[in-house]
Amino acid sequence: MSLLACDPEEQHSPDFAESPLTLICEGLLGEDLPQFRHEINLALQAQDSYLTDIERQMFHGGKKIRPVVMMLAARMVAGPAPLDPKIHKGAASLEMLHVATLIHDDIVDDAPLRRGVPSVSAARGIKTALLVGDLQFVQALRGFAQAVETERDMSLVRMVLDTAFDICRGELDELDRTLPTDMDSALTRYYQTIDRKTAELFRLACHAGVELAGGRLRDARRAGYFGRSLGRAFQIMDDVLDIVEYEGSAGKEAGIDLAQGRLSLPLLYALQRLGAEHEIGRALKGELHLSGDALQRSIDDLRDCGAIDMAYSHARREAHQALFYLKGFTPSAYRTALQDLALYVIDRPLNGQL
């Protein structure tokens, strides 16, 4: 269970109350989240006959961090006054876009579980899961289009389409098993992939929040840069958690990136430290499938070689870069909340490690 969960049903950990997201959901966004959930329910009603409880649970559980940062970004501009309903509709569409990527990720990864329950692909088969994921993509785009009220809003539709395109490119990029020949090329490719797959959705959330709230274009762009850096930090920490957190705490199989041969940042540094002929390098090239004792041995080597510390330093750099982009906004509780989230992404407890 993630400490960043925003749904009341997921608040099981005694440490959960320490998450700034809990305070944000219960306080600053206490009036916005019910309206966001109402928009989610309206969007799901349109496809009700095609969904099962598994898909519905994906919308009712989880972190909700993307719509949360979108609404916080909007409130940095609008203040405590009631938000325009199109912002809640946009936040709901953003979450649908995210859920679509999760469904597709589980198909690619052949993942049996998602948040402790069967994945859509495991429960309903790959063909149905693919179509259900596509349904969420299209419904998300429809929701953003419905939120358009002004000529200025129309520019967001293009941004949403570009983001969806980048997400698909990022998912395809992640399947590339070709190892870069040098670290600079490896880092360039890694950041391109996580920007497309993760960070661009955070950028869209923050940019759209400010713009839909009537903020200046330059402020929307600045908020978007914050979102991109936050998304990078979030994804790098996800890479770190894959190695650092134990299976029961992380809610997924430990070392899944390594088992799947997926090029994460800790694995890149492990490759640099341990060499391409190490089991990790062979797994990344697709020459070897790691499982059982061999997987655990490689995870231990990865933890011992300093790769996690190096990846973690990248996450901290991105989080602090995100804070820089917030300096141009007037100080407020909403700006502080976004700052707290950026720092929490990198500072939350990790099984007593880091």
pLDDT in tens, 74-109: 999 999 999 999 999 999 999 999 999 999 989 988
Is residue 354 domain-resident?
no
**Does the pLDDT of residue 230 top 60, yes or no?**
yes
pLDDT for 345? 94
Is residue 353 domain-resident?
no
Which CATH number belongs to the domain containing residue 30 in this structure?
Answer: 1.10.600.10
Max avg pLDDT among 16-30, 260-274, 319-333? 319-333
For 271-292, the pLDDT digits (tens) are 899 988 899 988 888 888 888 8
Is residue 228 domain-resident?
yes
pLDDT for 4? 38
Which of the pair, 251 or 314, is modelled with greater confidence? Answer: 314
| Domain hosting residue 62, numbered range | 8-347
- Domain total for the chain? 1
Average pLDDT over residues 128-134: 96
pLDDT for 252? 52
pLDDT for 148? 73
pLDDT for 202? 98
Is residue 211 domain-resident?
yes
Q: Residue 253: which pLDDT band, with cuts at 50, 70 and 90?
A: low
Which of the pair, 29 or 286, is modelled with greater confidence? Answer: 29
Q: What is the 3-state secondary structure (H, E, C) of the chain?
A: CCCCCCCHHHCCCCCHHHCHHHHHHHHHCCCHHHHHHHHHHHHHHCCHHHCCHHHHHHHHCCCCHHHHHHHHHHHHHHCCCCCCHHHHHHHHHHHHHHHHHHHHHHHHHCCCEECCEECHHHHHCHHHHHHHHHHHHHHHHHHHHHHCCCCCCHHHHHHHHHHHHHHHHHHHHCCCCCCCCCHHHHHHHHHHHHHHHHHHHHHHHHHHHHHHCCCCHHHHHHHHHHHHHHHHHHHHHHHHHHHHCCHHHHCCCCCHHHHCCCCCHHHHHHHHHHCCCCHHHHHHCCCCCCCHHHHHHHHHHHHHCCHHHHHHHHHHHHHHHHHHHHCCCCCCHHHHHHHHHHHHHHHCCECCEC
**Does the pLDDT of residue 259 top 70, yes or no?**
yes
Average pLDDT over residues 231-245: 91
Q: Residue 350: which pLDDT band, with cuts at 50, 70 and 90?
A: low
Q: Residue 152: which pLDDT band, with cuts at 50, 70 and 90?
A: confident
Is residue 244 domain-resident?
yes
Is residue 136 domain-resident?
yes
Which of the pair, 12 or 276, is modelled with greater confidence? Answer: 276
Is residue 2 domain-resident?
no
Is residue 341 domain-resident?
yes
Mean of per-residue pLDDT scores for the chain: 87
